[in-house]
Structure 1
């Protein structure tokens, strides 16, 4: 196991390393597929274990909060010193968690199992983002999109898993997903071999002497930009949580759909998000990160506001457009933050991606509680206003200016 210091390092490679990008994206798909088991099994757990919406929210909170709290901590640590083989080791925790999900007999056992999956995710995401950054060459937007589209593809499989696995096989169907963890560990051994070679070849860039006042000014601008990004992630993650965790119940209660039928609508939203994630990076490379983030979140607002009042026949195209547009900014937000803090790739990746999970976790509990107190319909109308917060993107500084200053 080789170690190397990451503080203030230059990760640039002479060319885009597509085999590594596709490999880490594939593992991202497997990792997030295992995470997607949790919301996918919600209707099954609610029926078999008589869980309330609040308890379902706590399950999602445990999974997402475990990974979100740990991600920036893992990133902070690995920015200083890391082992290239931490990736397959982390995936081992997910493997144990999947076994627990399949055989849990109580709410408490479910909670313990999702902690294992959350810890595995906490290790994978910041290190996976670092690998994508290192393999990107000069195409960081595209590289991050390739990496993130794997995760979004895995997440989008949740409705299909519910319809094809959990409805016929019940909770024990989760045991099939242990094979995904095993495959992921195997692929990560290949990635870790390349990663280890990169760690040995990294050189620290020559130091730059800048006036203290200039450094202080840049730090303030960067801190302000990161604050705005965090707020935007909050709005986007709360909205995503409302759709991915609870919209299936809205369709069942409001339109009389079955569990299987509701999963089809949810799959449309998730699949569109995969396409949006992939498209977002190359578009942002051309028009700028800030512009893409603005149009992604704010552009979703009119469609989101109309969704709770739409007739059933128009929900399919609405969900597709919403999923596509709002997810174009997912990978781009990470790249924007990485370029603001180029010496803290692991920490900032863990912060932004982990924050997305954390806000989704908090959203699961808050929105679940609102649904229990009021109704699913009232909750969905409330979250439809969240994309309007995309207007705060206007306060972001131009990323090109900040990059030249830093």
Structure 2
């Protein structure tokens, strides 16, 4: 063993620093694109749920309140578990939990394709919700780990896949499910199988890089001079902004088709295509907020996204069919830029709690969508779908609360290479 060389502490530190640099100074686009693609598949399957509402309403003789309850069950299971998943995986990362969560989604879709009663529909969408609650916090952490410091860009790429998938769901439902019946939902199980295969590969990369993560690859500098009470107040403001965004999104994703059918007397397929146009605009707008927030500051992006959409939402209930479509594109583009900026802003306020913050904000987004769908469905039964859209048009005015947000302090500090 005479030739064995014991490394000095200094060289060991230098080696660790070099390894750290290799991870954090390079954005791993292959991983970001893989989880974005998985997010696309995941949200395509999830968006089938509201897209099949007209079909389920007729076949099971449901009212708007029951449709709202379907969304509520899905969003509840998708929201309540997410902060706990994030908190748990902050301490014990689970590289293959993403693939495991997708198995719940697959089971939910298979059951939904055969569900002939209202309770079975509730069980099936709840299983899809459980899959979502496992997927989002850990996938967001994976985007964080592969960001190379470009955290807004990484979140936007991740979100782009989800929003693109949400826009594809109604289009595919219009072509595959609506003309041929509920049983054709089973074909979307292929998407889940593909996603499981992709997530097993990303899980392997994640497991290999856990050592770097445990050595605190990302070194954060907390906001100096920002007391805990100020941070807590800022988080409350962000949660209110999430409420305004996703309550409005609930009105669009769950009831936009019914609003169009009732007001303009168009077919289900035409309404689904118009919902696709809106959700496609949401997907396109996703790429705006993150990268711009990296460059000019996230608070400005939040201002523009939440408050800037208000003129368009206020005009929507009074527009013709053509202008309704145009306005929905602007609403989707502007509103979608908020989430990546809000999420990364919150993670900068509470450094070191990536999973918890991701789970909390993703969970709240889903929860607000579910509560919003249930409340708005009940309101639509008691008044009218037009009244719901008039009322929701004022929600973006809550964006005025952005003025109470502090400027975030120095960004994450990335270790410099030691030569």
Which residue of 2 is the match for residue 70 of structure 1?
81
Q: How far apart, CA to CA, are the structure 1 residues paired with 2:361 and 2:94?
A: 22
C-alpha RMSD of the superposition? 2.1
Q: 2:259 matched to 1:250? A: yes
CA distance in structure 2 between the aligned counterparts of 1:310 and 1:187, rounded to whole angstroms: 43
Say whether the 8 Å CA contact 2:248–2:393 is kept in structure 1: yes
- Tell me: CA distance 1:216–1:72, structure 2 relative to 1, closer, same or farther (3 Å): farther
In structure 1, what is the equivalent of residue 353 of structure 2? 344
Structure 1 Cα separation of the partners of residues 191 and 144 of structure 2: 24
Change in Cα spacing, 1:131 to 1:60, as seen in structure 2 (3 Å) is: same
Query: After superposition, where does 1:223-234 map in structure 2 within 5 Å?
Result: 223-234=232-243
CA deviation after TM superposition for structure 1 residue 34, in Å: 1.1
The equivalent residue for 1:171 is: 182
Identify the residue that residue 195 of structure 1 maps to in structure 2.
Answer: 206
Structure 1 residue 159: Cα displacement: 2.0
Give the TM-score, by structure 1 length: 0.93
Separation in structure 2 between the aligned mates of residue 100 and residue 249 of structure 1, nearest angstrom: 25
The CA distance in 1 between the partners of 2:391 and 2:304, in whole Å, is: 21
Q: How far apart, in 2, do the equivalents of 1:311 and 1:324 lie?
A: 20
- Within 5 A, what are the aligned runs for 1:300-379? 300-379=309-388
Alignment counterpart, residue 21 of structure 1, candidates 13, 32, 36:
32
In structure 2, the gaps of 5 or more residues are 1-20, 414-419
Give the one of 401, 412, 416 matched to 1:392.
401
Displacement of 1:200: 2.1
**Partner secondary structure for residue 365 of structure 1:** helix
Indicate the residue corresponding to 2:69 in structure 1: 58
C-alpha deviations, 1:86-120, integer Å up to 9, x for none? 11111111111110000001000011111111111
Looking at structure 1, the residues matched to 97 and 324 of structure 2 have their Cα atoms a distance apart, in angstroms, of 43
Give 1:23-172 correspondences, 5 Å limit: 23-172=34-183
Count residues with an aligned counterpart: 391
The answer on whether the counterparts of 1:340 and 1:403 sit within 8 Å (CA) in structure 2 is no
- The 1-side partners of 2:360 and 2:330 are apart by 28
Question: Offset of 1:21 from its aligned partner?
Answer: 0.2
TM-score (norm 2): 0.90
Does 2:258 match 1:240? Answer: no
Distance across 1 between alignment mates of 2:49 and 2:25 = 40
Following TM superposition, by how much is the alpha carbon of 1:342 offset from its aligned partner in structure 2, in angstroms? Answer: 2.1
Q: Contact 1:12–1:138 at 8 Å: present in 2 too?
A: no
- The structural deviation recorded for 1:174 is 0.7
Contact 2:45 2:169 in 1 (8 A): no
- Extract unaligned runs of 5+ from structure 1: 1-9
- 1:383 is aligned to 392
Contact 1:27 1:188 (C-alpha < 8 Å) held by counterparts: yes
Which of 296, 303, 312 is the aligned partner of 1:287?
A: 296
Provide the rounded CA distance (Å) in 1 between the counterparts of 2:209 and 2:411. 27
**Could you tell me how far 1:403 is from its partner in structure 2?**
7.2
* Residue of structure 2 in register with 1:5 after alignment: none
Deviates more, 1:87-96 or 1:278-287: 278-287
User: Which residue of 273, 277, 289 maps to 1:268?
Assistant: 277
More off after superposition, 266-275 vs 161-170: 161-170
Q: What is the rounded CA distance, in whole Å, between the counterparts of 1:132 and 1:26 in structure 2?
A: 12
- Distance in 2 (CA, whole Å) between partners of 1:95 and 1:313 is 37
User: Which residue of the partner structure matches residue 9 of structure 2?
Assistant: none
